[in-house]
Amino acid sequence: PAPTPAPAPETKADKKIVLGFSQIGAESGWRDAETQSIKETFGNDAQFELKFSDAQQKQENQIKAIRSFIAQKVDVIALAPVVESGWEPVLEEAKAAKIPVFLLDRTVKVNDESLYTAFIGSDFILEGQNAAKTMIEQLGADKKVNIVELQGTVGASAANDRKKGFEEGIKSNPNYKIIKSQTGDFTRAKGKEVMEAFLKSDGKNIHAVYAHNDDMALGAIQAIEEYGLKPGKDIFIVSVDGVKAAFEAIKEGKLNVTVECNPLLGPQLKKAILDLKAGTQPPKWIKSEEGVFFGQKAIDALPTRKY
């Protein structure tokens, strides 16, 4: 009798690269754009299989997701860490399982840098500095400016460093003071709520808002309008991200400045994974190139904005 043929060996081309992505949640327009970029990039590429997990803003959910990715023996993990600290144990588990971890958009504080392969994202300190610099340029260095700050999620690198960069940027000018600062958790609803409270206690005294993201600024704009003042005119507003809704608000004269932060990180992550597979170590920090938008430049850019 003819021997039964051996099953065809699995060829290299059949074997997909399995990527587990632990996303923070869906708190902002920026994050939705990032999620879409990842889903598009990896969903449309037959070399990859994407396992997507939404942590609903909770670090414990992210840790669980990573443990589950390790148990499923994924080939690579991407993590957008909600906060900076507390990652060592789970990153050590991934390292022991020899699964490379890419940090996406926010970074972590760890003693051992070898616990992750690379960070793909922005320079948040620079963003904060640019927000301060543009505010001073637009309002004038000699003017007395009381600023209220809407901070991002407590403990997030994007919040800590945007705060630090902005403080550095106004430090040399005693006219510029942060009179109130509170977290709005990177959401429109909380940004509005916190701004309402600021206006209630200090309304006439507030000259400017610095919001760590556009969504909170958009919430603050609503609060300022409901309070009976004109956002963008009576109160100067600068925020970070550069989502389309921010450009629209600039066009309407309600937002003054948006400092760009690129969420379209899918292609960069894919390149880094493929480089690593091919034996090339990606740079430890894959930085995004970003601009600052206000006035006519923002209005002109609106039709071509991708997120």
- Which stretches of the chain bind ligand GYE, using CB under 6 A? 27-28, 30-31, 105-106, 158, 186, 213, 215, 240-241, 261
Write down the least CB distance from residue 14 to ligand GYE, Å. Answer: 36
Write down the least CB distance from residue 49 to ligand GYE, Å. Answer: 25
Q: Are 76 and 118 in contact (CB under 8 A)?
A: no
Write phi, then psi, for 10 (nearest 5 degrees).
Answer: -65, 120
Considering only CA atoms, give the Rg of the chain.
Answer: 22
C-beta of 186 vs 198, nearer to ligand GYE = 186
C-beta of 30 vs 69, nearer to ligand GYE = 30
Length of the chain: 307
Write down the least CB distance from residue 100 to ligand GYE, Å. Answer: 21
C-beta of 65 vs 211, nearer to ligand GYE = 211
Grouping H, G, I as helix, E, B as strand and the rest as coil, residue 300 is helix
C-beta of 50 vs 120, nearer to ligand GYE = 120
Write down the least CB distance from residue 300 to ligand GYE, Å. Answer: 23
C-beta of 75 vs 215, nearer to ligand GYE = 215
C-alpha to C-alpha distance for 149 and 31, rounded to whole angstroms: 21
Write phi, then psi, for 293 (nearest 5 degrees).
Answer: -125, 135
C-alpha to C-alpha distance for 98 and 211, rounded to whole angstroms: 39
Write down the least CB distance from residue 80 to ligand GYE, Å. Answer: 7
Write down the least CB distance from residue 219 to ligand GYE, Å. Answer: 12
C-alpha to C-alpha distance for 229 and 27, rounded to whole angstroms: 27
C-beta of 75 vs 241, nearer to ligand GYE = 241
Q: How far is CA 260 from CA 23, 89, 213, 293, in A?
A: 21, 33, 10, 7
